[in-house]
Amino acid sequence: MATTGIRQLEVSSPAFKADGELPAKYTCDGEGINPPLKINNIPEGTQTLALIVEDPDAPGGTYDHWIVWNIRPNTTINEHSNPGISGNNSAGKSGYHPACPPNGSHRYYFHVYALDRELGLMHGESKENLVQAMKSHILAEGTIMGRYEREDR
């Protein structure tokens, strides 16, 4: 179990700047694949990473786009990849659900967590179950946010 304070991961992407625009390639208007992520400051003792991608600006409340855990603690998550075990997103499916805001500009938060153990969750679990399983096992966390607004049709 983690016994020290939670440290800060540095999360970035070669595809977009923090607080910048997500390229259409990673949205429903493009290829719909996940963007690449870079993770630095992974603390010693990290056994796995977990990732939650969410849109708090969705009309019905926060929309979960991607839930993944038991990711090897590498410094890169490649684009168009499935780096670990996927949970169900808000569409009720596993895997990356691309940004596709129905109106206006939405924010997409890519939260990365360094964990001190592998999680015993099964494929298709919910974000709530992942958050519960991570409690007291988070060594570090970090976030990058990108924005996307669809062009008028």
User: For residues 139 and 43, is the Cβ–Cβ distance under 8 A?
Assistant: yes
Q: What is the mean pLDDT of residues 38-65?
A: 97
pLDDT band at 4 (very low <50, low <70, confident <90, very high): low
Does pLDDT of 60 surpass 80?
A: yes
pLDDT for 20-45, tens place per residue? 999 999 999 999 999 999 999 999 99
For the chain, give the mean pLDDT.
Answer: 95
Kindly report the number of other CB atoms within 10 A of residue 114's CB atom.
26
Q: Are 62 and 15 in contact (CB under 8 A)?
A: no
Give the Å distances, CA to CA, from 125 to 5, 69, 135.
27, 10, 16
The domain ranges of the chain are 7-148
Question: Across residues 121-141, what is the average pLDDT?
Answer: 97
pTM: 0.94
The angle at the Cα of 34, spanning 17 to 135, to the nearest 5 degrees, equals 90
- Topology adopted by domain 7-148: Phosphatidylethanolamine-binding Protein (3.90.280)
| pLDDT at 152 (0 to 100) | 67
H helices of the chain, where? 127-134
127 token code pair: 């974000």
Residue 73 has pLDDT above 50, yes or no: yes
Q: What distance in Å separates the CA atoms of residue 113 and residue 111, rounded to the nearest whole number? A: 7
